[in-house]
Structure 1
Amino acid sequence: MAPSRVDDDKSEAPKTSYDINVPYHALSEEYEKRIKGRTEFPEYLPVWEEGLWHDDFPVFEFHDPALRADKKKPNLFQGGVAAVPITPRMGTVLTGVKLETLSKEAKDELALLICERKIVVLRDQLEFLKTGPQFQVEFMEHYGKLSQQPVTGAVKGFPQFHIIHRDGNEEEIEHFFKHKMTTTIWHHDVSYERQPPGYIMLGILACPDVGGDTVVADMSMAYQRLSPVYQQMLDQLRAIHTSENLIAHAKRAKGVVRADPIDTNHPVVRVHPVTGERSIFLNMEWIKEIIGLKDLEAESVTRFLMDQVRMGHDFQARVRWEKHSVVMFDGRTTLRQFLVASVDEPS
């Protein structure tokens, strides 16, 4: 492994900011001492380990666990497990599930439920969160090869974790709003990877009583709402996704960088391997170009589609976070955005 890299470029960081919830530097000793006495899970505070370098994953064959699942889901829905829909079309809240005890068959059925409902919220997962990083990595390996973030903080010894951490830094917030009107941005996770994640897990260790919700859009329904003519045009298009801006910003912020920037070619419309649904795979964060279109044409297509997502409240679901909840998303058919809870309270 090559050593981690810090760029010597002294120029000003680009206006695009990834600072909110995604710091680039180790926490100060003073802050660490203060927060470690308050947090229930100090082992999940973000670290930036030296000497790590992540080469791009080679393409691998993926066998979706949902294809093995019993469609009736008898192993998942047993022992008093209850399901409540978030909306009629997407999102399900499960209570009574103990993630740490699920059998392989139940994990497969959970995968199928995620494919069908796009989002599954699992309440009261304290025991799963207490199992620790090693167990959680092994749990998620059931759902595929794990991604490794190129610039952000992770759990010590486990680069597969992406830690979202608010430290109450008001200066950081003020800097962000010098250039931005809102903290929200519709995004796919690491869509620049050759094989972006299909299944994504988020666990909440601490959160405010209100606020901080996550809004999720169903990109298969966004596709279905388009006219057949527009669908046919999108079906022919491919886009270049890139991590260039992310890497450049981290370097100029004097942060640790663990990977070279990558450009990847993906179809604008993807076909889901389990449900067969067609969904739009485009965002405003990682897209470098749409192949074959001029810049203004590509911008027009992207802005039109993102406007439909922003206005499409009838194909969105809002996840309200509760302490010790775990949420699993289908990364192939959803876009999401987070809503910052407050600007003066660490979480």
Structure 2
Amino acid sequence: MSTTTTTTVQDSTGLLALKGKAQEEGYKYTSLLPVFPQEEHYPPLTPFEHVDPGHRALQHQDPRSFLANAQVTQLTPPIGEEIRGVNLATLDNDGKDELALEVARRKVVVLRDQQDFIERGPDFWLDWGRYFGRLHIHPTSGHPEGYPHLHLVYRDQSSSFNYEQSDRTVATSWHSDVSYELQPPGLTALFLLASPETGGDTIYTSQVTTLKRLSPDFVAFLRTLKAVHSGHEQADYSRSGKRGGVVRRDPVDNVHPVVRRHPVTGEEALYVNRQFTRRIVGFKKEESDAILNFLYDHIDKSIDSQVRARWEPYTVVLWDNRVTAHSAILDFIDEKGIRHGVRITPQAERPIPANENLKFDN
């Protein structure tokens, strides 16, 4: 992986100083620090047809054959497993299909010992990610220079280029990535190039389980609802000068079902999140706020639906963004250390309403 330092970034956020300091200190991944080119702008996203690779795995004689020589540990009953002994970099197409199905079923999959995958670098990561869907370019986040399809998270003791709010008593911010898009992501990958000695974990919750905890009559009511998801606040956050101050694509609002159905497993999942869901369609503000605040509070408190992914060197975490929500844990911000991560974000289908009559083969 290249560690060449670039010097063409022009912004007012101190990124040049950051990159210079990283070079002086011999940081291995200087070339993958975030940049925010001010001239970058992209047209609106257009709809596309998405076929989930997990569909093909359902037809395999053994849909988990890629795990034949692996050590698999369930992390909690409703969500999460850890896998050792699978090399993501060398999976063939059948293996990738089976991986997609495994992630859909377990929601979060933590793969250890992925040095081969991580060290292959940006071009390989993008080719790998395209197998699972059209890659998303984030409208406001940093990316490595020349690689806009790679979303970066970065925080050290003095700098943050993340979308985070410092005026709250709790830094946890449950969200489903860019749920405001017409076709939000499905299978998503994240790995850290650098992490603090302790802390900085990521927590996930199963939105399938949070929905199951609710009473049947209330779930039936939720199935009839749609909600607006908005990217405007995130864009305004950047326009205010934070996070590099870039808005690459005009922000959008989109309407999605409050309860969505997974296209492969057929499972129903709650699909609202505090970060991007704004209101229930057709309801007055107080009515909408009452429903959404109840659901947000339910998600926040549902510890029995959650799993914590602990970052070890050369770990890759895969999750199904359609049926989970997650949050970084900012318990390390007063400590020395860098948290520098790369996210590969394939888009999936437009959310399917739970009451839509579809046939599932699982």
TM range (shorter): 0.7 to 0.9
Structure 1 partner of 2:319 = 329
Distance 1:284 1:327, change over 3 A: same
Deviation track 1:124-151 (CA, whole Å, cap 9, x = no partner) reads 1111111111110110111101111111
**2:51 pairs with 1:63:** yes
Q: How does 1:114-263 map to 2 (within 5 A)?
A: 114-169=103-158, 177=166, 179-253=167-241, 255-263=245-253
Structure 1 vs Structure 2 CA RMSD: 2.0
* 1:202-261 Cα shifts (integer Å, max 9, x gaps): 011111232111111111111111111111111011111111111112112171211111
2:304 corresponds to:
314
Q: Deviations over 1:85-119 (max 9, x none)?
A: 11122111111111111101100000000000000
Deviations 1:148-173 (A, max 9, x none): 11111101111111110013217999
C-alpha contact 1:214 1:319 (8 A) present in aligned 2: yes
Q: Relative to 1, partners in 2 of residues 1:172 and 1:322: Cα closer, same or farther, differing over 3 Å?
A: closer
Alignment-mate amino acid for residue 326 of structure 1: V
Task: Work out the CA distance in 2 between the residues paired with 1:315 and 1:327.
Answer: 18
Distance change >3 Å, CA 74–CA 287, structure 1 → 2:
closer
Query: What is aligned with 1:35?
Result: 22
Flag the 1:60–1:324 CA change in 2: closer, same or farther, 3 A: same
What does the per-residue CA deviation read over 1:21-47, in whole Å, with 9 as the maximum and x for residues that have no partner? xxx965443321222334222221111
Secondary structure in 1 matching 2:193: coil
Classify 1:228/1:138 alpha carbon distance in 2 versus 1 (closer, same or farther; 3 Å): same
> CA contact under 8 A between 2:87 and 2:114: conserved in structure 1?
yes
What displacement does 1:176 show?
5.1
* Compared CA separation, residues 170 and 159, structure 1 to 2 (3 A): closer
Q: What CA distance in whole angstroms lies between the structure 1 residues aligned with 2:215 and 2:21?
A: 55
- What amino acid sits opposite 1:304 in the alignment? F
CA contact (8 A) 2:239 2:246 kept: yes
Residue deviations 1:280-339, cap 9 Å, x none? 100111122210111111111111112111221111111111121100000010011111
The 10-residue stretch of structure 1 (164-173 or 33-42) with the greater mean CA deviation from structure 2? 164-173
CA deviations over 1:52-73 (Å, ceiling 9, x no partner): 2122221111100000012623
1:294–1:109 Cα change, 3 Å: same
**Amino acid corresponding to residue 276 of structure 2 in structure 1:** W
* Corresponding letter in the other structure for 1:35: A
Secondary structure in 2 aligned to 1:120?
strand
Q: 2:279 aligns with which of 285, 289, 292?
A: 289
How many pairs are equivalent? 321
Q: Which of 78, 82, 86 is the aligned partner of 1:89?
A: 78
* CA distance, structure 2, for counterparts of residue 25 and residue 283 of structure 1: 32
Aligned residue for 1:124, secondary structure, equals: coil
Q: Structure 1 residues 30 and 252, CA, compared in 2 at 3 Å: closer, same or farther?
A: closer
Extract unaligned runs of 5+ from structure 2. 1-10, 339-362
SS in 2 for 1:162: strand
Q: Distance in 2 between matches of 1:170 and 1:197?
A: 27
Using a 3 Å threshold, how does the CA distance of structure 1 residues 209 and 119 change in structure 2: closer, same or farther?
Answer: same
CA contact (8 A) 2:153 2:161 kept: no
**Residue in structure 2 matched with residue 53 of structure 1 by the alignment:** 41
| TM value normalised by structure 2 | 0.84
Flag the 1:170–1:141 CA change in 2: closer, same or farther, 3 A: closer
Q: From the two aligned structures, give the one with the greater strand fraction.
A: 2
* Bigger mean CA offset, 232-241 vs 303-312: 303-312
User: Which residue number corresponds to residue 13 of structure 1?
Assistant: none
Deviation by residue 1:162-207 (Cα, 9 ceiling, x = unmatched): 110013217999x954x21121111110000000001111011111
Whether contact under 8 Å (1:71, 1:109) holds in the other structure is no
Matching residue of 1:15:
none
1:346 to 332, 337, 343: 337
CA contact under 8 A between 1:75 and 1:105: conserved in structure 2?
no
Matched residue SS, 1:129? helix
Distance 2:119 2:267 in 1: 36
Look up the match of 2:345.
none
CA distance in 1 between counterparts of 2:191 and 2:129 reads 12
The answer on whether the counterparts of 1:237 and 1:290 sit within 8 Å (CA) in structure 2 is: yes
The one-letter code matched in structure 2 to 1:330 is D
